[in-house]
Structure 1
Amino acid sequence: MPVDVRTMEKSGAAGVRLPIRIGATQRGRNRSMKRLILFLIALPFVGAGAASAQTIGFATLPPGAINNVQAQVIAKVVQAHTDLKVRVTPYRGGGAVAAAVNSKRAEIGISDAVEITDALTGTHRFKGRPHPNLRVAFRVLSFPISIFVRTDSPIKTMKDMKGKKFGTRWSAFPNMIPLMNGLLATAGLSLKDVEGVPTANIIRGANDFKAGKSDAFGFAIGAPKVAEVNSAVGGVRVLPIDNSPAGIARMKAVRSDYFPMLLKPHPRFVGVLEPTWVMGTDLVIYCGAHVPDDVIYKFVTAVHPNKKELAQGHPSFNGFQPKNMNKQFATVKYHPGAIKFYKEAGIQQGK
């Protein structure tokens, strides 16, 4: 019967070892040793594979904001079509997102073109605090925004907002100040004409409305939070802007990149009960100048042909126009990695 190597026998005075058969215990040890050797041989290649799967940070707004959902969807598409690993991280407001990208704590950010322009140039709410490291990767879509009231509210137009309780200050999300002023400006009003209800951010402002602390709230049309509030209060309605030439001129005096949009009723547009003119701004994905060209090239290349996958993730991406994803902006510039792709794709516009 088989014997263990430790039971080897000796023969004669010379102590010559006789041939033996290696037992089950030794065979098990040999198999373990082979596995260890194979693992050690493969280890350098495993390390190389892990190194090639670069992780990048994608900064966005808190859960409940439509930007958060859109960032999650974009990250999923990029990961499915590249070797990049995208870590989506929420920040309390757009200013914090811009600061994270500018300071190299994140590679990618999401916001509207107006906020990026202000941050880059150190103007308006970023006065004295320029963020020179910001570059555009691509334009996502036209972003509709308006003011919401209860369906049965006596507030019917923007002019009716005068003297009404409405969110102000926006300490954690100051970008709401120009957005709300742009909307109100179409009716010749501003935040100075409402009864201010100090709030921190868009989520808090919506919760204040839900709790009855305010008469209206501002939000992106199509955002998950709007659907939540709609269910909680028994229905909400979007206020239309004054889209007359004079109204549009007043809106653009707040920020020149704002523009009117006509929305028609659709399940994803909660609160749009009839064809309604609202304010639009360009939603952009931006990045840091420090991000390697090949990373942004991969990122943009993954997004461009995959509108269908994006729209499956969130219906707002039905508004994504690949041929217009590099719109020319007045101030902000595109990242070299993005420009490389646009040249190859034959859709060179932005610089």
Structure 2
Amino acid sequence: MKILRNLAIACAVTVGASSAAVAQVSSFSTPPQGSVWNTMASVIAGQARESGAMNVVVQPYGGNAQMMQAVNDQLAEFSLNDVNDVITAVQGTGEYRMAMPNLRLVARVNPFPVGLYVKESSGMTAVSDLEGRSVPSGWDAFPIARSHISAILAAGGLTWDDVKQVPVPELIRGSDDMASGRVDSAFFALGGPKVAEVDAAVGGVRYLTVEANEETLAKIQEVRPAFYFTEVEPAPVRVGVKEPMAFVTWDNVLLTGAHVSDEQVADLLAVLFDEKEAIAAAYPPLGALDLETAYKAYPGVEYHPGAAAFFEARGIAQTPAQ
């Protein structure tokens, strides 16, 4: 990793020295293509290029640990992630063996509902129906899924001991394995392009319902304190949602590295909020972008100074942590 970092820095210095006229390139680290974060980053990057504000490219990695490492080690400038995962990465707790102290928040982007989904032909409709059935486990390349599925199972009255665990490495493979019949269920965020792909391939999928009440809220917050429930209505872009239903949800955040300049951060924030209509038209879930609620405090992680200055200039006060 040090060799790669040194090569990347050396190349950047060489290119910068040889041609000052070349526009600075910022990169987004994301999970593989087909994931929601990759789609969101691609839309934001595309709008940044179209508006002429920035030259932004998207670089897929194997999973959340690798994409966080890329930002921390100055191999990427921006990323999108669950705020819980950012906090644990900064602290070096949970799935992270080493702290990543260079990660900084830029903005709260949107609520991020996640769930377990199945083939509609399975006859299952609720997470509780998975008792004795197979659920994707392991997640060596995407360890964030472990805590998310633990919370979803808890909201359905189950634990890992109540289901059959089938190891999968990451999101896309997990959905492929469900489509092929290797595992009975798959894990994915609502609105993911991969879910639509599987839906078309298997003749229909559906997300499994959970019980959203005070008891199950306490259970999911034992897994991660920033989890909460949201009610989701069916819509064409929400493949697999057959009726109004509750989802385990977290706050999705835009993050950056301490090495990134205040100007780069402010420029990307300006794209997010000044070009919101175009961004939402390209990917409707990003219509939830809201300048008034984007500057939210969270425990254990700080905002980049460029972001703090941007919100102050726009007259936005920080929302206290819940």
**Could you state the TM-score of these two structures normalised by the residue count of structure 2?**
0.91
**Alignment match of 1:121 (pick from 54, 79, 91):** 91
Alignment of 1:64-213 (within 5 A): 64-126=34-96, 128-213=97-182
CA drift of 1:80 comes to 3.2
CA contact (8 A) 1:188 1:250 kept: no
Q: Distance in 2 between matches of 1:107 and 1:133?
A: 11
Which residue is equivalent to 1:259? 228
The Cα shift of 1:81 comes to 3.6
| Cα deviations by residue, 1:286-334 (Å, 9 ceiling, x for unpaired) | 0001111111111112211221011122111122222211122122211
Partner residue, 2:21? 49
- Which residue of the partner structure matches residue 324 of structure 1? 293
Structure 2: which amino acid aligns with 1:49? Answer: A
In structure 1, C-alpha distance between the alignment counterparts of 2:106 and 2:163, rounded to whole Å: 37
What's the CA shift for 1:232?
1.0
Match of 1:124, SS? Answer: coil
Cα pair distance change 1:333/1:82, threshold 3 Å: farther
Contact (CA 8 Å) 2:273, 2:289: kept in 1 or not?
A: no
- Counterpart amino acid of residue 154 in structure 1: G
Residue in 2 that maps onto 1:218 = 187
Q: 2:277 aligns with which of 308, 321, 344?
A: 308
CA contact (8 A) 1:54 1:83 kept: no
The match for 2:197 among 211, 224, 228 is 228
Q: Distance in 1 between matches of 2:90 and 2:158?
A: 28
Alpha-carbon separation, structure 1, partners of 2:101 and 2:71: 10
Aligned to 2:121, the other structure's residue is in SS state coil
- Structure 2: segments with no counterpart, 5+ residues: 1-17
One-letter amino acid of the structure 1 residue matched with residue 38 of structure 2: N
- Distance, in Å, in 1 between the alignment partners of 2:115 and 2:135 is 13
SS in 2 for 1:304: helix
Equivalents in 1 of 2:53, 2:287: separation in Å?
26
Please give the alpha-carbon distance, in whole angstroms, between the structure 1 residues aligned to 2:236 and 2:161: 34
Q: Please say if residues 125 and 206 of structure 2, whose CA atoms lie closer than 8 Å, have aligned partners that are also in contact.
A: no
Match of residue 31, structure 2, among 41, 44, 61: 61
Q: Tell whether the 8 Å contact from 1:56 to 1:107 is kept in structure 2 after alignment.
A: yes
Tell me how far apart the structure 2 counterparts of residues 83 and 73 of structure 1 sit (CA, whole Å): 14
Contact residue 101 and residue 287 of structure 1 kept, 8 A: yes
Counterpart position of 2:11: none
| From 261, 270, 278, the counterpart of 1:292 | 261
1:243-263: CA deviation from partner (whole Å, max 9, x where unpaired):
011011101111011110101
With a CA cutoff of 8 Å and minimum separation of 6, indicate the structure with the bigger relative contact order: 2
Secondary structure of the corresponding residue to residue 111 of structure 2: strand
Distance 1:298 1:82 in 2: 10
Paired position in structure 1 for 2:216: 247
In the alignment, the residues of structure 2 paired with residue 87 and residue 320 of structure 1 have an alpha-carbon distance, to the nearest angstrom, of: 21
* Alpha-carbon offset, residue 184 of structure 1: 0.7
In the aligned structure 1, how far is the partner of 2:134 from the partner of 2:20?
59
In structure 1, the gaps of 5 or more residues are 1-45
- Where does residue 6 of structure 1 map in the other structure? none
Percent identity of paired positions between Structure 1 and Structure 2: 34
Aligned AA (1:117): I
Contact 2:53–2:271 at 8 Å: present in 1 too?
no
In 2, distance between residues paired with 1:83 and 1:321? 20
Of 303-312 and 114-123, more deviation after overlay is shown by 303-312
Shift, 1:152, TM fit: 3.0
Corresponding residue number in structure 1 for 2:240: 271
Corresponding residue for residue 39 of structure 1: none
Structure 2 CA distance, aligned partners of 1:149 and 1:87? 33
Give the Cα–Cα distance (whole angstroms) in 1 for the partners of residues 211 and 48 of structure 2.
Answer: 39
SS at match of 2:42: helix
> 1:32-77 CA distances to partner (integer Å, 9 max, x unpaired)?
xxxxxxxxxxxxxx95432xx2111211111110111100111122
TM-score using structure 1 length: 0.83
Q: Report how far residue 204 of structure 1 moved.
A: 0.5
CA distance in 1 between counterparts of 2:309 and 2:32 reads: 32
